[in-house]
Structure 1
Amino acid sequence: MQYSHNFNPTISDEDIFNEIVKEKEYIGYYNLPFQDTTPFKEYAKTVTQSNVVVIGIGGSTLGTYAIYKYLKHSKNLSKKLFFLETTDPIDIKSKIENIDLEDTLFVVISKSGTTVETVAIFKYVNSLVTCNHTNTVIITESDSKLNTYAQANAMTTFDIPQNVGGRFSVFSAVGLLPLAIVGINIDELLKGAKETNNDFFGIFGTQVSTWAKSSLVRTRLLKKARFLVEYKNSFNINVVFSYSSRLEGFNKWYIQLWGESLGKVDINNTRQGLTPIGIIGPIDQHSFLQLIIEGRRDKTVTVIKVENFDNDLKIPAITLEGLEDLDYLNDLEFSSLIKSQADATIEAIQNLNDIPCDVITIDGVCESAIASLMYEYELLTSLCGKFMYINTYDQPGVESGKMILKKKLQS
């Protein structure tokens, strides 16, 4: 008897990898780690202002904020970085009141050049201080109206490649320029992203992308992406539980990346999506962890730990009357305490044996570590999109809301 079948439940890992390799030819974010950073560093040297204000929203700010938030307390940065990213009038006023606008460089970022929120805030800033070529730099697409405005006013501009979507643009001028200006080592950032890229694609030296070369990163990400997609109807909510307040910005960036990329209609006209949740430990041990442990089994959990906090702050060896039973905390470093809290949460979840859980441990508080984490999540997002048969890089749901808003404002 002869037998053949086509019962394979889904595309193979190798086929998915080959699809990603093809995608590299026209999706630009994959190649950003290999760019020349000289223009950003040279411009950064010319900036004399003490403050840098990024005016943008969404992908124009979230990635930059994630990196800055993670690193700023461990670096002796030369300048302060602020973000104007919402049209909430209270937020705008309160932030601007604490910034010396006469000693500020404004970095205006909009891929399309017509983002309503960005233009509205920029207009307001212009009413408070003269924005010109001496204190304003523009980051946008080369053919946008914002670029035309910049050229007319002799402002320095940096280009966002058309094949790099906003939420994937952190390793372009969008993130690298403001981070370089405040003193973060952008070459080390790209080094972390580059190492992850090379491991995933099996690139060493002049070798081209190859499936044959074994890869720990590729194996890990393919396994996770396949599980998330194949079990999406059972575990539709994906919780990132970050055990460091420094990762609060990363959580926000992940939520945009995941939601805007994966909430789509697939090739069969079926609605797809994975729901991102970002929480911080140990704070949310006292709220969301209860839902994870005893709530519905509709969530996966990724715990992110930091191995080296680069901080030796200790709990003092003092006894408080009535609290003597807690003296075992004496002389314990807070970094050790938070790592133990993370480990306890992980063990509590894993002991239940019915909550999918994985653990990511970041080596330390440095540029390459946060960049590697973010680049891995970009790759994971792309893999999930391939498994789901969707376009990971458009956002028609967001665009429809923009068109409605424009009609309302013009009426």
Structure 2
Amino acid sequence: MKNKLYFSAISKRAEEKAFDAIVEEQKSIGYYALPDQDIGPILEYCSSIPETIETIAVIGIGGSSLGAKAVYEFIKPVKELSRKLYFFESTDPININELLSKCDMNKTHFLVISKSGSTVETFSIYKYIYSLQQDPSFYTFITDPGSPLEKYALEIEASVLYLPDNVGGRFSVLSTVGLVPLALCGIDIKDLLTGAQMIKERFFDRGYVYDMLLEKAVYYAENHAQYSINCIFAYSETLKYFCQWYVQLWGESLGKHQRNSAFHVGLTPIGLIGPEDQHSFLQLIMEGTRDKSVTFIKIEDFHDDTTIPDITLPHLEMLDTLNNLPFSKLINMQCDSVIEALLDQNNIPLDTITIQSVTESNIGSLIFYYELLTSLVGELIDVNTYDQPGVEAGKIILKSKLQEL
């Protein structure tokens, strides 16, 4: 993974301060250790699922599903996987029944994921599915030790797996939450963690990732009042759900009261996919309010040589320049052209991330890169990156309303 910045931060002292804080944070925040974990127990568990199971279904919301979905949708188009993977994330009844229509209830294993063990959305969906399939052998529950969900799972004699200590939902994709469903579908989770480990080592050992991440984080923090909107512009459909994961990670981690003041701060995340958003949202970036930074993500080698045919169309001869051009080259030319156009604007901060190819290792690197970036920016803008009181407030009100019914 290569990252090229078209801007520079000012404060080297802030870089050192942020790095020292992140080094210290490793002692209490669990996600930093995930690239180094022993995946033997996860693989052993996955081998216990019968071969008759053809579909894996995750029942979970937010951090319980978005990360695994991002990896699955990135890898699925280029790799023949052993099982299909579906995500029950919404209480929309149309969505629930549309997904169920794809699942043979006797050939589907359900992973019910809730850190707290009492997530309203998750258990409303679970109760409905349980009414259709009441055999506990078709369920595995992933939760914190001692949660109500653990007690329920043990009561019905279903399988229970646990989250590592001090790993929040939006940082949990490289834990059991993401690794179990991905491994069950045939995704190489060892390679996924290898990619994350590479970024971790090259940051904490002060390799090239160290300078790249710190300069970017300090720039965002120094300019977060002016450039309060951060856009990912990903030029591959395979990254659509990665963008959704990033929106949760960035928004839920950085939109807070500052720890040492009463100010509200945050950086608003927006996920865009090229080239379609090139024909819509790009106009706002190009000529709208100068409050946006942009990160372009492109894939260097799609390993796909599908080519535009050498066909001349009457009255459209001017488009013969497309003939014999690989689509992979065209989409990257589109990306490069937009970058060049934005650079001409001078006052739009942007950078580019180039992924070599669509592999587990590369998406693992990208995920851990963004987790580290989030932690650094959170430290620099003085927020608690790992809580979510705004989200919890809505949950409390919902539970109160349900009690009143």
Q: TM class by shorter-chain length?
A: over 0.9
CA deviation after TM superposition for structure 1 residue 139, in Å: 0.7
Within 5 Å, which residues of 2 pair with 1:313-332? 313-332=306-325
2-side partners of 1:32 and 1:98: how far apart?
Answer: 33
Q: Does 1:140 align with 2:122?
A: no
Instruction: State the 1:325 CA deviation.
Output: 1.3
Q: Which stretch has the larger CA shift, 10-19 or 364-373?
A: 10-19
**2:232 paired with 1:228:** no
What RMSD in Å do the two structures reach over aligned CA positions? 1.2
Whether the 8 Å CA contact 1:319–1:327 is kept in 2: the answer is: yes
Selected match of 2:340 from 325, 347, 367: 347
> Quick one: which amino acid aligns to residue 285 of structure 2?
I
Tell me how far apart the structure 2 counterparts of residues 197 and 10 of structure 1 sit (CA, whole Å).
21
Is 1:242 paired with 2:234? yes
1:10 Cα deviation after fit: 9.3
1:297 aligns with one of 281, 285, 290: 290
> What is the aligned partner in structure 2 of residue 36 from structure 1?
38
What does 1:94-105 align with in structure 2 at a 5 Å threshold? Answer: 94-105=98-109
Say yes or no: does 1:123 pair with 2:127: yes
Q: SS in structure 1 opposite 2:300?
A: strand
Instruction: Map 1:327-406 onto structure 2 (within 5 A).
Output: 327-406=320-399
| SS, match of residue 91 in structure 1 | helix
- Contact kept? 1:55, 1:109, Cα under 8 Å: yes
Task: Give the conservation status (yes or no) of the 8 Å contact 2:11–2:218.
Answer: no
1:114 aligns with 2:118: yes
Query: Helix, strand or coil for the counterpart of 2:296?
Result: strand
Q: Which has the higher contact order (CA 8 A, sep 6+)?
A: 2
Structure 1 counterpart of 2:66, from 55, 62, 66: 62
CA offsets, 1:155-178, max 9 Å, x none? Answer: 111111230000000000000000
Give SS of 2:325's match. coil
1:51 to 51, 55, 58: 55
Describe the superposition over 1:111-170 as per-residue Cα deviations: whole angstroms up to 9, x where unpaired: 0010000011000001112241x2111111011111111111221111112300000000
State percent identity of aligned pairs.
Answer: 52
Inter-CA distance 76–261: structure 2 relative to 1 (3 Å threshold): same
After the TM superposition, which segments of 4 or more aligned residues of structure 1 sit over 4 Å from their partners?
Answer: 8-11
Instruction: Give the distance between the partners of 1:189 and 1:13, measured in 2 at CA.
Output: 28
CA distance in 2, matches of 1:336, 1:178: 33
In structure 2, the partner of 1:205 is: none
Q: Which residue among 80, 86, 91 is the counterpart of 2:90?
A: 86
Structure-2 separation of matches of 1:14 and 1:46: 47
Quote the Cα distance in structure 2 between the aligned partners of 1:161 and 1:9: 35
Cα separation, partners in 2 of 1:317 and 1:90, compared to 1, 3 Å:
same
Deviations 1:374-402 (A, max 9, x none): 10000000000110111100000000100
Length-normalised TM-score, structure 2: 0.95
1:20 partnered with 2:22: yes
Aligned AA (2:350): C
Residue number in structure 2 paired with 1:219: 211
One-letter code aligned to 1:30: Y
2:3 alignment partner in structure 1: none
Q: Which residue of 1 aligns with 2:247?
A: 255
Q: Give 1:369 deviation, angstroms.
A: 0.3
Deviation at 1:330, TM superposition (A): 1.1
In the alignment, which residue of structure 2 is the partner of 1:206? none
Partner Cα distance (1:107, 1:58) in 2: 14
Aligned residues: 392
Alignment match of 2:268 (pick from 272, 275, 287)? 275
TM superposition score normalised by structure 1: 0.94
The CA distance in 2 between the partners of 1:244 and 1:9, in whole Å, is 34
State the AA in 1 paired with 2:101.
E
Tell me how far apart the structure 2 counterparts of residues 274 and 131 of structure 1 sit (CA, whole Å).
45
Does the CA contact (< 8 Å) of 1:11 and 1:387 recur in 2? no
> What is the Cα deviation at residue 43 of structure 1?
1.8
Given residue 154 of structure 2, which amino acid in structure 1 is its aligned partner?
Q
**What is the CA distance between 1:12 and its match in structure 2?**
2.6
Task: Find the partner of 1:159 among 159, 162, 165.
Answer: 162
Q: Structure 1: which 5+ runs fail to align?
A: 1-7, 203-213
Which shows bigger deviation, 247-256 or 92-101? 92-101
The C-alpha deviation readout for 1:271-304, integer Å capped at 9, x for no partner, is 1100000010000010000111111111000000
Q: Secondary structure at the match of 1:102?
A: coil
Cα distance in 1 for partners of 2:403, 2:99 equals: 29
